[in-house]
Each structure stands twice: as C-alpha cells, then as structure tokens.
Amino acid sequence: MFGPGPALLGHRGLGRGTVAGIYENTLESFLAAAALGIDWVEVDVRRTSDDRLVVAHNPANSDGVFYADITGTEATGDGALDLASLLEALPTGVGVDFDVKTSMEDAVRGRAETTMAKLAGVARREARRRPTLISSFDAGALDIAKELAPAVPRALLTWVEFPIGQAVAMAGHLDVQVLAPHWGSLRPNEREPVELHRPLEYVVDTVHASGREFLAWCPTVKFAQELLDVGVDALCVNNVPKVLKALSKELVTAVM
C-alpha cells in the first residue's frame, strides 16, 4: 500500500487547525502540503443534502448547521471545500486517503445510497491516476466500499485511546488492508494503563503478521520517531512543515 519506506500523510492538508497561517481542509492547505513534498493527504469527506461531496471534518459547520441538511452550493458558499475541486487541483503524484465520515442519516438509507456509496465512484476514478485509500471508523461503510470499489484499499480507523488489542484483532478479521489507530492507543492511557499494554514493537509486528499495514495518526514528533523505529508503514501527521523538518533524515535513512 505505502511502498518500501514509511509514508507521511498530511492530516487535513498541512495539519489540524491553522498551520503556517493556513487553515485546515482548504485548497490552500492541501496544495501547500503537496508543495512541501508530502506523500499523501488525508481528506475528510462528507455529503450534503443534494449528494455533493465536500471536505469537512465535523458533521456541522461552526454555526451548528449540518452538512446533511444543506446543499453543496450552500456548503461551499459557507467555506467548505468541494471534493471534486480539490481532486482536480491536487497533483496526481500525491496520494489521497479518503476519510469517509458517515452520518446518522446513512442508517436509514440503502447501501447504494450511503455516503460511502457516493464516494465509491470517485475513489475508483482516482485510483486509476494516483495512490488511493478509503478509510473510516465505520466498519459497515468499509464493507460497502469493498462491495462498490473492491480494487481500492481500505483502512480501519480507531478512535482516541481505543483498546489497541481489540483494534488489531478486529482489523485482522475484516477485509481491510490497513489498520489506522490513533497514537493515543499505542501508549499507556486512562483506559489502558501500562500493565495492560504490549510493547509497541509487538503490536506493529502483530499487525504485519496479520497481513495488514500500520498507519498511526496524529502522533507527536517525539512519538512519531518511536513509531518509525518499530517499523510502522505510514504516519498521518499534524504540522507537516515541522514533522518534515524533524524527521527528514530518519525518513531518508528508512527508505534506503
């Protein structure tokens, strides 16, 4: 999936929030990440009431208006980025990880009418011209992706401090190619203290032994180095300029 060396994915473009004066999930943020030489970008995908796909992390905008309740024109007029516009502008050498955000409304839709179903055709087209991954916290949506875009690799995302043993086992028995846990699951935390944690190398090796690749999201720079040391395949990072500067030597060495 990620090639011979560890890949870096820009979280929401250059990173969460404002990085280098550029706000997340904007065309400027994605293009700036691409200009810095990032391998991939992580793109949050949501659906509007008229079936347009837009780039937005939260289900509602800052005024509490849900994207599922407004049209694509209303969403983009309020600042959301049109997904098609991003893909047209993004250099084809940059991989795209579509982080598909299913909504509550998907529960009452047929499989062919869900958010993931609307994204499937886009993902199939993009996979013909760039590295492409579909990721989601929603295992049901990943099953729909398998059905409608079977050639596009899939990643199971798990949430902050989600028990890592459960995540590894679950991914091992789902038809996904990548496990993508939050970095908080990979160290002792409030839910899993130190005595419940396997060594980090053991976790990564078990994922690899199950035939999956390992993508950790949003680690600190210090923890990112630890993850590289134990052989993760990819990191989804905040503050792309800072991470590239801090890890450039290690990334080159790992690839060699």
3-state secondary structure of 100: strand
Q: Output the CA torsion sign for 173, 3, 186, 104.
A: negative
Angle, in degrees to the nearest 10, between helices 240-255 and 221-229: 20
Say if CB 33 and CB 13 are below 8 A apart. Answer: yes
User: How far is Cα 181 from Cα 197, in angstroms, rounded to an integer?
Assistant: 14
Domain coordinates in residue numbering, the chain: 7-255
Q: For the domain covering 7-255, report its CATH number.
A: 3.20.20.190
Which amino acid type is present at position 186? L
User: How far is Cα 54 from Cα 27, in angstroms, rounded to an integer?
Assistant: 12
Spell out the alpha helix ranges (H) of 210-239: 221-229
Q: What is the pLDDT of residue 188?
A: 93
What percent helix, strand, coil does the chain show, rounded to 5? Answer: 40, 20, 35
Say if CB 176 and CB 137 are below 8 A apart. Answer: no
Under-70 pLDDT residues of the chain: 249-256
Instruction: Give the pair of three-digit tokens for residue 12.
Output: 């929401």
Q: What is the pLDDT of residue 108?
A: 96
Question: What is the model's pTM?
Answer: 0.95
3-state secondary structure of 154: strand
